[in-house]
A and B are shown apart, each in its own frame.
Chain A
Amino acid sequence: MRFNRSVAALLVGLVLVASIVLLAPRASYSRQDRDATLATASRQHPAGTDELGRDRLVRVSAAFLLSLAGAIAASAITTAAAAAVGTLAAFGPASVGWLAMLACDVFLALPWLFLLMMVRSALPLTTSPANSAAITFLVLAALGWPACARAVWRGALNLRNAEWMLHTRASGLRPVQIVRHAIPNLLPLLVPQFLVCIPAFVIAEANLGALGLGVGEPLPSWGGMLLELDNSAMLMQTRWVYFPVALLVVVLLLLDAIAVEVE
């Protein structure tokens, strides 16, 4: 428990630092300092600048907050959808349950990377960066629910057959009341699902960004910054290009530690 709390405190600390960096006067993730492109650390740019002379610390902070907020939102949507589909499949008529689980299987079998490329290529080139970020996380949420829904379905099936569930029926409780009875029993299943999905979505967004399918420029994203790493000439110039990937690993470790601890 102590470990869990310190990990959470560390993560909150990172969020605070990133917010302060972003809120500082003259901090801008898109302003280009043409006199200092690919600069190393300096008083003006504590983590150096990128190819276009944009402050790396500000961009990493923005990318961190954006990806965390997006991943949390996407995870909430995925978990809610999974809870709805899973409980409906377990408590509804057998045919509904069968259809819902078939939908899950179809979703799990889809070549989702290919699908994602199709979705992104179907979007007009004029899609704004903010929209591209929203779409990226929405697509991740849409892809994440089936595996989670299967887990919820199994848990809800156990509840459906539980003795106390039979007793609620024998007491004449309305369906709405029975669902209210069931939710506290599903929370131990839903909370870990929610927490596990967050780091998964953070890394998924980073991977998509590295393929050029994620959040659009000039909005900073982990993926966009990881792209810098495939230019060996840049790697020679300054070590600070490793900063985003190092922070990404730390954040993922923290998120995983929290998820594991709660589970």
Chain B
Amino acid sequence: MSSEALLRVSLEAAYPGKTVLRDIHFELRRGEVLGLVGTSGAGKSTLVLALLGLLPWRGGRVTGEVEVEGENLLARSERRLREVRGRKVALIPQSPMTALNAAISLQSHFVEAWNAHESSGRAALHARMRDLLAEVQLPSDPDFLRRRPPQISVGQAQRVLIALALLHRPALIIADEPTSALDPVTQAQIVDLLRRVNRRHETAVLYVSHDLVSVLRLCDRIAILDCGTIAECLPVDELSKASHPSTRALLDTLPVPLDLLLSYRSSTAVAPLQLVIAR
């Protein structure tokens, strides 16, 4: 893991008549996994959209800086932003079923996403798709790829979205509550998958969630978003030293003592433990 900052954020965001994010400052290093935790309505999704320059599509406005590899995206044209989205910074959205276009096949999703940034032909795409689908443990036969999103399960849809996010080997993946729509077993599998992706490709991940247990399993550092600002940001190992009331409140919701969870963090036995907790 290099110490160079991949993402440096310093922004404020507002919807008409209402400031949602104030004084947001954080950094993300190459290959690092940062967990962004907050209660519902804390501004997590707004932050995700702001980072990608997509907030105007939801009627919001963002000021400040979002630097990716030293380039301030907020000062760039929409055309330049388009080149960065999906290629350098990819998104894994919250609800897999509505994030895929129900009217077109899975294959078409990959073809369009590929053509957005690549001019090399079908052969290159097919080779990449085969690798990716194997990596996210999905079948790659034509029969599966001809299906439309309503014909696959939610878990499969989330895997398709992860494969789509990995398509152009981005340096950063923003995962916006990627497990919130899934059952506990699939949740654990998706978190494992994200961890594997992070280890194997050195892809940095900004993992946005309100599920502290999955954050503890996956992340190196954790940032607590409260009332539109980052209340506290500290390494996961030092979470017990947290002082901010909102962090303490979150920790109090854990069904198992923090030390116990952290002791399982590096071992492979976490998945069963999380299942127990989820029940």
Contact = CB atoms under 8 A, between A and B. Distances in A.
Interface of A: 162-164, 166-174, 177, 180-181, 184-185, 187
Interface stretch (B18-26, B92-100, B248-256): B92-100
Interface in B23-79: 49, 52, 54, 57-58
A1 to B, nearest CB: 21
Given A169-B57, A177-B112, A181-B104, A163 B98 contact: yes
A170 B101 contact: no
B218 interface: no
B104 A173 contact: no
B91 A163 contact: no
B236 to A, nearest CB: 27
B196 to A, nearest CB: 22
B134 interface: no
A171 B98 contact: no
Interface stretch (B113-121, B135-143, B182-190, B208-216): B113-121
B95 A170 contact: no
Given A172-B84, A173-B112, A177-B115, A163 B54 contact: no
A164 B86 CA distance: 14
10 contacts: A164-B100, A166-B58, A167-B161, A169-B54, A169-B57, A169-B85, A172-B86, A172-B117, A173-B86, A180-B112
A162 B58 CA distance: 11
- Give the residue among A167, A168, A173, A185 with the most B Cβ atoms within 10 A: A167
A162 to B, nearest CB: 7
B: contact size bracket: 20 to 34
B112 A163 contact: no
B82 A167 contact: no
A187 B93 CA distance: 26
A177 B101 contact: no
B82 A170 contact: no
B98 A162 contact: yes
B166 to A, nearest CB: 12
A174 B102 CA distance: 19
Interface string B113-133: 101110000000000000000
Contact of A163 (B86, B87, B99, B164): B99
A180 B113 CA distance: 12
A168 B99 CA distance: 9
B83 A172 contact: yes
Contacts of A164: 98-102
Given A167-B91, A171-B116, A171-B164, 10 more contacts: A163-B93, A163-B95, A164-B102, A166-B93, A167-B93, A168-B101, A172-B83, A172-B86, A173-B112, A184-B101
Contacts of B87: 172
B57 A171 contact: no
A184 B108 CA distance: 12
A190 to B, nearest CB: 13
Contacts of B86: 170-173
Contacts of A177: 112, 115-116
B103 A170 contact: no
Nearest to A175: B82
Given A163-B93, A163-B98, A164-B98, A171 B103 contact: no
Contacts of A181: 101, 104, 112
A166 B101 contact: no
